[in-house]
Amino acid sequence: MNAVGWFFTGALVGLANVYTIARTVSRIRPEARLSAVIATVGAGLLRFVFAAVVLSLALQQNVSSGILAFGGMLMARWSVVYLINTERLAWVWSR
């Protein structure tokens, strides 16, 4: 895969990370503490594994691919956080 492909792959993983964080937070309920802990830990491990796999595969190709994949992850996460805070993506999370 070329360097641009790694950037977009990293961006997709970054978007998936933000989505799983938002979904996990929306499902936390005070009356279901154990399931909230299990969901939080499970989603956290899933996010970590996806990010680690993408970064390790990109770094096996070369360092610039790894840096671009990492940059894609960061840019996607911060872009979505910015858009959510400006309420431009409020329709996505209101379901």
Instruction: List the domain boundaries for the chain.
Output: 3-93
Burial class (CB in 10 A: 0-12, 13-18, 19+), 12: middle
How many other β-carbons are positioned within 10 Å of the β-carbon of residue 7? 21
**Residue partners of 16: CB distance under 8 A and separation at least 6:** 47, 50
> What does the pLDDT look like over 39-57, one tens digit per residue?
888 889 999 999 999 999 9
Task: Give the range among 33-37, 64-68, 82-86, 88-92 with minimum mean pLDDT.
Answer: 88-92
pTM for the predicted model, two decimal places? 0.80
- Average pLDDT over every residue of 24-47: 84
Higher per-residue pLDDT: 7 or 19: 7
Q: Kindly give the residue spans of alpha helices, DSSP state H, lying in the chain.
A: 3-26, 33-61, 63-85, 90-93
**For residues 86 and 94, what is the distance between their CA atoms, to the nearest angstrom?**
14
- Average pLDDT over every residue of 5-19: 92
